[in-house]
Amino acid sequence: MRNMFLALLIVCAASSFAQAELFPNSGPPGATVTIGGAAFGEFVSTAENRVDFNGMPALIQLWEPDLVMVKVPLGAKSGDVTVSGPKGTAVAGRFAIQQVKITKLVPPEAEPGSVLTIEGEHFGNTAGSRDPNTMFGVNRVLINGILSEILKWRPGKIDVKIPANAESGDVIVQLASSDPLPDGSCCAPVKYAESNPMPVSLIPSISFAPNRGPVGTKVVLSGQQFGDAKGPNDAITIGGKPVTIAKWSPRTIVVHVPLNAVSGP
């Protein structure tokens, strides 16, 4: 009778452990996945408690007898998610890895310092927050290799402020990894899953002073990317009239109001 009773207990434990379910069942690298179920047991060690995405170990954030939370590994492929603990191993379900993708930039031409909206897919819910006590990275946006200030981050849309020193080039969204070390503990050095590049054209922002004055007045134009010297096709006009150029440098141009100039742009 005792042997029959023990066998019944073992069957019940295995059956309840096999009821694991995961949510969501798709997402990009670095996304948080919740696995609900029963009889996962207590957390013992990273050697005994594991969650694998198609064979790749995930970083465990929380382990309770009925709830496990993990991060999707950077190099994971779509496939089964398995939960392994002191009471056995169960398949929680199939997880589809989604690749971060940019579909549109609004506007496609902009000035440094202005807001750029990046539309796309699978950006994740947030950029994440930097934790000084861990090696967790944060999701980010690069414009021609320059980090941009994140204003708002949503799964399908990101608003960033274009850096003042940015130049025309590719916009790339990077999702930070949250992967374990080989022994399962936190945390492996941060790497990034990258989106497709999408080009943006940055128009130099130009200011000038003074904005009024008589013929001969010196006017200083300030901006970026003017070049080291005036090119053969470069021209500056005031009120439609060409001006005399006294100085030309990458960030500053000095001109004088011409004799026949009239008020205007």
Please indicate, yes or no, whether residues 192 and 229 belong to a single structural domain of this protein.
no
Range of the domain at 73: 2-97
**Inside any domain, residue 262:** no
**DSSP line for 160-211:** EEPPTT--SEEEEEEEEP----TTS-S-PPP-EEE---EEEEEPPP-EEE-S
Rounded distance, CA 193 to CA 173, Å? 8
Question: Beta-carbon neighbour count of residue 177 at 10 Å?
Answer: 23
Q: Which of 122-131, 165-174, 252-261 has the lowest mean pLDDT?
A: 122-131
Rounded distance, CA 174 to CA 189, Å? 15
DSSP 224: S
Question: Beta-carbon neighbour count of residue 148 at 10 Å?
Answer: 19
**Inside any domain, residue 141:** yes
Please indicate, yes or no, whether residues 194 and 228 belong to a single structural domain of this protein.
no
- pLDDT(226) > 90: no
**Inside any domain, residue 17:** yes
- pLDDT(3) > 60: no
Residue with tokens 């994740």: 124
What would the mean pLDDT of 235-242 be, rounded to a whole number?
Answer: 84
Residue 57 · residue 79 · CB < 8 Å: no
Please indicate, yes or no, whether residues 20 and 39 belong to a single structural domain of this protein.
yes
Among 165, 184, 202, where does a domain finish? 202
Please indicate, yes or no, whether residues 142 and 107 belong to a single structural domain of this protein.
yes
pLDDT tens by residue, 32-90: 999 998 888 899 999 899 999 999 999 999 999 999 999 999 999 999 999 998 888 88
Rounded distance, CA 216 to CA 83, Å? 79
Residue 44 · residue 35 · CB < 8 Å: no
Residue, of 56 and 231, whose pLDDT is higher: 56
Please indicate, yes or no, whether residues 87 and 115 belong to a single structural domain of this protein.
no
**Inside any domain, residue 264:** no
Please indicate, yes or no, whether residues 115 and 89 belong to a single structural domain of this protein.
no
CATH number of the domain that residue 13 is part of: 2.60.40.10
**Inside any domain, residue 158:** yes
pLDDT of residue 11: 39
**Inside any domain, residue 85:** yes
Please indicate, yes or no, whether residues 109 and 197 belong to a single structural domain of this protein.
yes
**Inside any domain, residue 234:** yes
pLDDT of residue 39: 82
What CA–CA distances, in Å, run from 192 to 83, 108, 132, 149, 154?
25, 25, 19, 18, 18
Q: Mean pLDDT score of the chain, rounded to an integer?
A: 86
Please indicate, yes or no, whether residues 138 and 196 belong to a single structural domain of this protein.
yes
Residue, of 245 and 152, whose pLDDT is higher: 152
- pLDDT(148) > 80: yes
